[in-house]
Structure 1
Amino acid sequence: MNEISNDRNFIGRGWSFPPQFDRSLKAVRMTEDEEDINNSLTILLSTIVGERVMDMNYGCNMDEMVFEALDTSTITFIKSKISKAILFYEARIEVQKLEINTQDILEGVILVEIEYIVSATNNRFNFVYPFFRTEGTELSSIKAI
């Protein structure tokens, strides 16, 4: 029983993302286990390299891919960037499968689908990160004059 407890401690505990506060407890909401790993992956994939003062190499720079043509070489490059970032900054997991889903590309959405195993518990999980290629959300309501 103690070994399982130690494995869970390795998985970790951290602030929720985005940060949420509980007024009654006067504390920040914490996440644990796989939820903490998923939050960590979201932060990693949405952080620009150089954005963190204490670790200037942390991040994935997905924003620089927004205007790139989505061909085979670009998809391979994106997968490589993500795999490298996870390898260096999320040691708690082993990526089993990494796919770029372009099914909703015409809506400006690319889904990064990551299938991983938590090293400490050998449990398998899926994580989907939505990468948006367009910023505008109400473009259809704009009328030409």
Structure 2
Amino acid sequence: MPLACFPILILLAPTLDTAVQVTIRSDAGDKYYSVGITKAALDKAPIWKDDADTPPLSARKAMKLAAAMKDKLVRNPDGGHWELVSMSLVEARAGQWFWQANYEWLKDGVFTGAGRPHLRLVVLMDGTVIEPEAIEYKRR
């Protein structure tokens, strides 16, 4: 009997391609967001070669792609807006880089303080923006 179950267990176990290599979390005020970057997604995107001066995807293009995802996920209520505060290059594995867009919530032109809402988005070097998983706050 245990031998009959063995193949099923193998099918249910995650493969290295689908295993999450990097997880980035955000607290957007009314929801948490979690981005999981898999090995398969990293492998699909072009690498940034050591002899190349610039990454395969420009910062400007990554900013535009991240902004489109941000607009899909979050709103600008109460006189505030989401401000892009930085675009970071992150090396997940040797030669496998991605852009991380870092947004923070501003209200009346001022950052809202410690613990303020923030949104982190990932843009791979092939232009793929990984849509984060939304996790609703649990009300107590």
TM norm structure 2:
0.36
Larger RCO of the pair (alpha carbons < 8 Å, separation 6+)? 2
Between Structure 1 and Structure 2, the one with more helix by share is: 1
TM norm structure 1:
0.35
